[in-house]
Amino acid sequence: MGKEIKLGLVYRDMWQSSGKYMPNVDELCSVAQPIIAMGCFDRVETNGGGFEQINLLRGENPNISVRKWTQPFNDAGIQTHMLERGLNGIRMSPVSRDVRKLMFKLKKIQGTDISRTFDGLNNPQNLELSFQYAKEGGMIAQGAMSITFSPVHTVEYYIDLADKYIDAGAEEICIKDMAGIGRPVSIGKMVKGIKDRHPDVIVSYHGHSTTGFSIVSALEAARAGVDVIDCGMEPLSWGTGHADLLTVHEMLRDAGFKLKPINMDAYMEVRALTQKFIDESLGYYINKKNRFMNSLLIKPGLPGGMMGSLMADLEKNLASINKWLTKNNKPTITQDELLIKLFDEVGHTWPKVGYPPLVTPFSQYVKNLSLMNVIQIIKGKERFSMIDENTWGMMLGKSGQLPGKLAPELIKMAEQQGREFFTDNPQDLYPDVLDDFRAKMKEKGWDTGQDDEELFEYAMHPAQYEDFMSGNAKKKFLADLEKRKQAAGTASTAGVPLPVPVAASAPALSMPKSLVVDVNGEKFKVQIDYPESTTSNSTNNNAAAPAPLAEAFTDSEANYVTSPLEGKFFLTKAAGEKGIKVGDTVKVGDTVAYVESMKVINAITSSYAGTVAEITVSHGDDIEEDHPLIKIV
């Protein structure tokens, strides 16, 4: 019998790679003992990544979830591990030193043994503190290398990167193939190269099955000396998830490796419970496309887990593009044609922005920028004429050094816009905040919790924690779940509040207060007054609604800054900043507002010079593409 291979069940990632939500704490606790009884796992991924944010969005306390969920595995001697994002901690944006340090101390106390740490740019500098804090907190520090395929990301690059991670304090190495595009033979060479240099360092292979490579990569990794292989299991294996336990187990046994046997009775119980969670609620948040593998993703290298949101974005963008094409007497395009244009554009854009590994959040940045380029090209505009602020931050070095070189035209564009490149430690951009959040909790009368765990949650996820504490998060989740059940024809209203119809609620911020209408080249501004029956609790539904009040005037000399895309309008991109106001002077190219779309903030620039005469929408409004926003005279 050959070398023993240990198996890890990525139960958290199984859910996150398939849909939006994880099971609740009671569901997790019910499945823990059956997982243990399967007898084949040495490790289980229990938390990290989006786990705690998802708890808050469901209206649940994540600290209770982590403590109760990890306890059975701790008692059984099965190692638990979490995924964390280095500079970003367990959220999508950078976090301060003091919050990062508290996280590792707290997660160990709560029962997490191993911290799997990755950086979206594979930047060792961003991971040093994670390795240090993990070990200080009593956790095993595992450095995860984000695998991608490019002229920069060679086998030698990753073997050398493992050296750097180990020098920076990593005790284990994980080959994290989040998009499933690592070529199997190359994966094997990486494992062998690392094990040749560091024979005593544990190496794990974590590969998503998205493109079909991962099952072969698992075998190549095993032959090269890997110690641990992650897998999923039915009904959430394959697709954008992970290779199935049964397939991995049988393949490796046939190849002569030693593995712990599987208790199939327990396996079937875990399988049935997981399916139950899907049927009762969580399946309503799983995109069907995520249940299939997709070899089209080999070329662009985008993670399969983002395909659901990508296709939703494409549907909206396709409608907008075809509306523009029809208006300009041009032939419309199909969603498949748009998808191929996007994949081709990723191949053009990715090298120009320095080959960031296509992993969260940089995969989103590359995808969004490429999609914006496609839209601009279709409309006869230049590439890179619409770059969101998150992508600018990445290109300017605010997340660390890029693996490749930024294109000269993008460097020139940054200089023309007065943007400065950052070459120091990105962590220095984010000062400590725990004292501030502690003071806020005291003002609100909130307890900082056992081991300051509630303080940590507030500092890590401020907006979601406030929503959780107010009770709004749970109400919104239950209402949204009921809405989805109704749409699927399986609604059960017992004990679940229905979503409030718009007509019976207070007017949303997105309801326009005025519109600018273009009639044969002449602009008219229309003020809209909403009937009182829509802004009160009146039950007189038979009353005739008064017509909107309208004041039309000629506005032929004014210019309007319009929205470049559909999304949510903001005057500023961060709290405390001052937005433009009526009377301000603007120049061509000035940033005058922002639109949040596809999870990133996009700057809206003025094509005109003059004075701000009017802002036609409010901070937080939902806006359509080409909607007039700011009047310049």
| Percent of the chain whose pLDDT exceeds 70 | 87
| Residue range(s) of every CATH 2.40.50.100 domain in the chain | 514-632
Check residues 51 and 606 and name the one with the higher pLDDT. Answer: 51
The residue behind tokens 């029962």 is 111
CB 324 within 8 A of CB 309: no
Burial bucket for residue 587 (CB in 10 Å: 0-12, 13-18, 19+): exposed
Rounded Cα distance between 593 and 365, Å, is 20
Q: In which residue ranges of the chain is CATH 3.20.20.70 found?
A: 6-291
Closest CA to 144 of 461, 362, 359: 359
Instruction: Work out the pLDDT band at 619, boundaries 50, 70, 90.
Output: confident
Residue 45 has pLDDT above 70, yes or no: yes
Query: If you average pLDDT over each of 161-170, 356-365, 520-529, which comes out highest?
Result: 161-170
In this prediction, residue 530 carries a pLDDT of 42
State the Cα–Cα distance between residues 626 and 294, nearest whole angstrom. Answer: 34
Which residues neighbour 98 within 8 Å (Cβ) at sequence distance 6 or greater?
Answer: 432, 433, 434
Q: Region 78-83: what's the mean pLDDT?
A: 97
pLDDT of residue 148: 92
| Prediction pTM value | 0.80
474-483: pLDDT as tens digits? 999 999 999 9
Q: What top-level class would CATH report for the domain 6-291?
A: alpha beta
Residue-level pLDDT at 312: 67
Q: Residue 449: is its pLDDT beyond 90? A: yes
**Quick one: which of 70, 76, 60 has its CA closest to 22?**
60
More confident call, 533 vs 446: 446
In 3-state terms the chain splits into helix, strand, coil percentages (rounded to 5) of: 45, 15, 40
Alpha-carbon distances of 374 from 177, 312, 568, rounded to whole Å = 27, 16, 21
Percent of the chain with pLDDT over 90: 63
What is the per-residue pLDDT for 451? 96
d(CA 287, CA 311): 10
Mean per-residue pLDDT over the chain, rounded: 86
Q: Which tens digit of pLDDT belongs to each residue from 499-546? A: 333 333 333 334 444 555 554 444 444 545 444 433 333 333 333 333
The answer to whether residues 74 and 105 touch, using CB atoms and an 8 Å cutoff, is no
Of 178, 47, 40, 113, the C-alpha closest to 456 is: 47
Low-confidence winner among 98-112, 117-131, 297-311 (lowest mean pLDDT): 297-311
User: Where on the phi/psi map is residue 610: left (φ > 0), alpha (ψ -120 to 50), or beta?
Assistant: left
Domain 514-632 adopts which CATH fold?
A: OB fold (Dihydrolipoamide Acetyltransferase, E2P) (2.40.50)
pLDDT band at 557 (very low <50, low <70, confident <90, very high): low
DSSP lists the bridge partners of residue 118 as: 144
Q: CB burial class (10 A; 0-12, 13-18, 19+) of residue 190?
A: buried
pLDDT over 50 (residue 494): no
Structure confidence by residue, pLDDT tens digits, 229-275: 999 999 999 998 999 999 999 999 999 999 999 999 999 999 999 99
Average pLDDT (430-452) is 96
